[in-house]
Amino acid sequence: MTAFNTSDLSRPSSVPLETDLDRYFESYWETYSACYQRGRACEQAERYREALVRYEAAIEIDPTQFDGWYRRASVLVEFGDYDQAVESLDRALELDDQSYWGWYGRGCILWEYLGEPEAALASFEQAIRLHPNDYWAWYRRGYLLAEEFEQFDAAIECFDAAIDARPQDFWAWYRRGNAQRYAKRYRAAVRSYDRAIAQRRDDYWAWLRRGDCLAFLGDREAAIECYDHTIAIDDTGFWGWCKRADLLRQIGQLEAAIVSYDYAIEIDPYDSVLWYNRACCFSLGGNSSAAIGSLQQSLVCNPDTTRRSVRGDRDLDPIRTTPEFTTWLKIQNIDERI
């Protein structure tokens, strides 16, 4: 998602399509307009190094033009030179502090690439003051407030404003659901995810997060249906299998839970929690040898956490007094006393 307005990146209207751009610009190369327009053409063709040279030539000829500094910043972002990009935008904004896209682009760079959320927030707020009905600054401000500052009420208000501008936008509904979920307003979050899913029926994360909210509300069956959707969308996704397995274990469908853990383990065989929870399923089903086998794998992946968890975990009570388990504890030198 670009931080810059690219709507003006078009061939100069006065130049016929068949014209050779090099020859066209040769006649007046030393003017600001020629250098700038050549930079635009190179940028549009994704010839960014040439574009940078042209923009800097334009700036050298006339450093008082907003567009030269602004487009220079957009090209510097392509090179990953984010500090200089912000400096270039600052110069542009000194020339025209009423540029919505200048403030918006500055905010995007400061947050996404330089990790300066406070400065980014100030830039987005300035953009909103200039264009209070535009989607982008409201959306980014909400996203920033939710993820960096945990100001969920303010974030939801921003997403509401973004939705007013674009009622059918997937991302605004999805991020609104996330902010509501962070604030533990799970029913409201489900409604937001429903609106997001209405725009993208096959979005893995919207179904996953909807399932998370339903699980928090205690509706495990409905949550499992959501995780089933995620798996149908992408059966190589870790979280759908993992969360499905956890809920199946909680409702006592142990065999189905073990199958889901097995799929999750295929994706990440080094996750100790998967192996441990799989062991708990076997324990609850009275299969001590299979439980011990999974515990051994958990121990290999994360010995300290596994040792702590084994002590006093009620899910292991069905096998705790079996000879196999007590022998394994002794071999692993695990003291059950807490």
Q: Is residue 251 a part of any domain in this protein?
A: yes
Q: Which of 247, 269, 291 is the last residue of a domain?
A: 269
Q: Is residue 211 a part of any domain in this protein?
A: no
Quote the number of domains for the chain.
4
> Same domain for 99 and 35?
yes
Q: Which of 168, 200, 232 is the last residue of a domain?
A: 200
pLDDT at 19: 55
Query: Which residue do the tokens 């061939």 mark?
Result: 11
> Same domain for 122 and 172?
no
CATH number of the domain within which 22 lies: 1.25.40.10
> Same domain for 18 and 68?
yes
pLDDT at 11: 46
Query: Which residue do the tokens 């059950």 mark?
Result: 336
pLDDT at 30: 75
Q: Report d(CA 274, CA 265) in Å as an integer.
A: 7
Q: Is residue 334 a part of any domain in this protein?
A: yes
Q: Report d(CA 335, CA 268) in Å as an integer.
A: 29
> Same domain for 290 and 333?
yes
Neighbours of 279 (CB within 10 A): 31
Q: Report d(CA 83, CA 90) in Å as an integer.
A: 11
Q: Which of 131, 159, 175 is the last residue of a domain?
A: 131
- CA nearest neighbour of 139 among 118, 170, 109: 170
> Same domain for 127 and 1?
yes
> Same domain for 239 and 114?
no
pTM of the model: 0.87
- CA nearest neighbour of 80 among 44, 40, 42, 52: 52
> Same domain for 22 and 112?
yes
pLDDT at 17: 57
> Same domain for 282 and 264?
no
pLDDT at 335: 76
**Residues 109 and 86 sit within 8 Å (Cβ to Cβ):** yes
> Same domain for 164 and 64?
no
Q: Is residue 212 a part of any domain in this protein?
A: no
Pair of tokens at residue 304: 């300290």
Find the domain containing 58 and state its range.
Answer: 1-131
**Residues 71 and 37 sit within 8 Å (Cβ to Cβ):** no
Q: Is residue 207 a part of any domain in this protein?
A: no
> Same domain for 6 and 119?
yes
Residues of the chain under the 70 pLDDT cut: 1-29, 336-338
Q: Is residue 39 a part of any domain in this protein?
A: yes
- pLDDT tens for 284-319 read 999 999 999 999 999 999 999 999 999 989 999 999
Q: Is residue 316 a part of any domain in this protein?
A: yes
Angle at 316 between CA 311 and CA 322, to 5 degrees: 100
Q: Is residue 205 a part of any domain in this protein?
A: no
The DSSP secondary-structure symbol of 147 reads I
Residue type (1 letter), 157 = E
> Same domain for 110 and 1?
yes
Query: Which residue do the tokens 């959306």 mark?
Result: 139
**Residues 272 and 305 sit within 8 Å (Cβ to Cβ):** yes
> Same domain for 277 and 316?
yes
pLDDT at 157: 98
